[in-house]
Structure 1
Amino acid sequence: MKNKLLIIGASGHGKVVADIALKMKKWQRIVFLDDDENVTTSMGIEVIGKSNMALELINEYDIIVGVGNNATREMIQTQLEVRGASIPVLIHPSAVVGEQVEIGIGTVIMAGTIINCCTKIGKGSIINTGSTIDHDNCIEDYVHISPGAHLAGAVSIGKGSWLGIGSVVSNNVNITDGSKFGAGAVVVRDITVPGTYVGVPVRRV
């Protein structure tokens, strides 16, 4: 771990990442990279250049990808990993993380989140504000669990999936890679076909 943090992306998600980093008090300096030339600061934090500068700064900074889009976040983080970047895990001080929880690099755990024991969360994922993940869950890489989503025990979420705000997943449900769920979706059975799902209970659209 280094004493400086570089956040790629200075927009909405990047701001929340920065807020968590500030509250963690582990880095002496925090800066952004962003491709919008009109953005010079965000949250009072300096934007020092465009995202393609990250590889030039790889030996100087810990680097986290503050981009909400799962596919984009995966692309950028994979490039950083190949080059040997130091990629931290960010956990808001108010989050509750149980025993024997594994969290992959580049994952961000936001305020008010509860993750119960024996759960595994892959790399580059977003566990968003006020969401809950119960015991023995398996969340694969580059998943986004939106604010206020609730997962019961022994749930499996496939790589690159996105659960919309307020989603609910019943216990022992398996969701395949690349699945997307609308706001307030209720998942009570296994999802074996990738796609977009909405409703109570969900249906594919």
Structure 2
Amino acid sequence: MENSVILYGASGHCKVIIDILECLQVGIQTIVDDNPITSSIMENSVVHTSNFSFTSSDSVILSIGNNKIRKKLSEQLKVTFEKVIHPNATVSKHSKIEEGTVIMAGAIVNPHVEIGKHCIINSGAIIEHDCIIEDYSHICPNASLAGGVLIGEGSQVGIGATIIQGITIGKWVVIGAGTVIINNVPDYSIVVGNPGKVIKLNQNEHH
């Protein structure tokens, strides 16, 4: 990683990334945000996007929790995207982590896991061996994936959710907090309960 990075997005998610960068002793060059009334976050000044131009030499982290917005911005910006791993996360050297992904404190990523671009592996999440997590997904705090689980693009696994081994979760799925998944889940589903049941299809997610 570069000695300093630019953060895009001054939200609560940004606060956690700032904290990780402090632990890694990586400087913050600038924080950019679309909200004109946000002027600072955690003692860092915030620049409005209208007053900032990205260049191809910039090292950037998309510090935005919304999966769709991260996808949109990652496709628009021609920059170098950095990945960030908290020093208290446990990440196997036999795993593969793509650009833009952020791994929070206490997360565990075991061998032969593949994590795509611009994913969030949140605090205390467990990703067991041989899982594949596609781009722009978010594994929320204390969610647990058993071995061989596939998470499709842009999906969100809610806080404390559990997915048994070998399950396939489609793209742009939302799994509710505490949900237990024992069957495959189709694209664009919203799933809640124990065992998890599809309560509706999220038509807004179609791309």
Q: What TM-score, normalized to structure 1?
A: 0.92
For structure 2, the 5+ residue unaligned runs are: 200-207
C-alpha distance 25-72 of structure 1, shift in aligned 2 (>3 A): same
The percent of aligned pairs where both chains have the same amino acid is 38
Structure 1 partner of 2:24: 24
For residues 96 and 51 of structure 2, the distance between their equivalents in structure 1, rounded to whole angstroms, comes to 30
> In the TM superposition, what is the alpha-carbon distance from 1:199 to its structure 2 partner?
0.2
For residues 17 and 109 of structure 2, the distance between their equivalents in structure 1, rounded to whole angstroms, comes to 18
For residues 75 and 6 of structure 2, the distance between their equivalents in structure 1, rounded to whole angstroms, comes to 16
Structure 1 partner of 2:14: 14
Q: Is the 8 A contact 2:57 2:80 kept in 1?
A: no
Structure 2 partner of 1:69: 66
Q: Residue type matched to 2:127 in 1?
A: I
2:80 aligned counterpart, secondary structure: coil
Q: Residue type matched to 2:24 in 1?
A: M
Q: Which of the numbers 153, 156, 161 marks the counterpart of 1:159?
A: 153
> In the TM superposition, what is the alpha-carbon distance from 1:49 to its structure 2 partner?
2.6
Q: Which of the numbers 80, 87, 100 marks the counterpart of 2:81?
A: 87
Q: Which of the numbers 170, 175, 179 marks the counterpart of 2:173?
A: 179
Q: Is the 8 A contact 1:58 1:86 kept in 2?
A: no
> In the TM superposition, what is the alpha-carbon distance from 1:119 to its structure 2 partner?
0.3
For residues 136 and 64 of structure 2, the distance between their equivalents in structure 1, rounded to whole angstroms, comes to 11
Q: Is the 8 A contact 1:2 1:61 kept in 2?
A: no
For residues 30 and 197 of structure 2, the distance between their equivalents in structure 1, rounded to whole angstroms, comes to 42
Larger mean CA deviation between 38-47 and 113-122 belongs to 38-47
2:76 aligned counterpart, secondary structure: helix
For structure 1, the 5+ residue unaligned runs are: none
Q: Which of the numbers 126, 134, 141 marks the counterpart of 1:132?
A: 126
Q: What TM-score, normalized to structure 2?
A: 0.91
Paired residues in the alignment total 199
Runs (4 or more) in structure 1 with deviation over 3 Å come to none
Q: Is the 8 A contact 2:104 2:123 kept in 1?
A: yes
For residues 54 and 154 of structure 2, the distance between their equivalents in structure 1, rounded to whole angstroms, comes to 27
1:48 aligned counterpart, secondary structure: strand
For residues 138 and 114 of structure 1, the distance between their equivalents in structure 2, rounded to whole angstroms, comes to 14
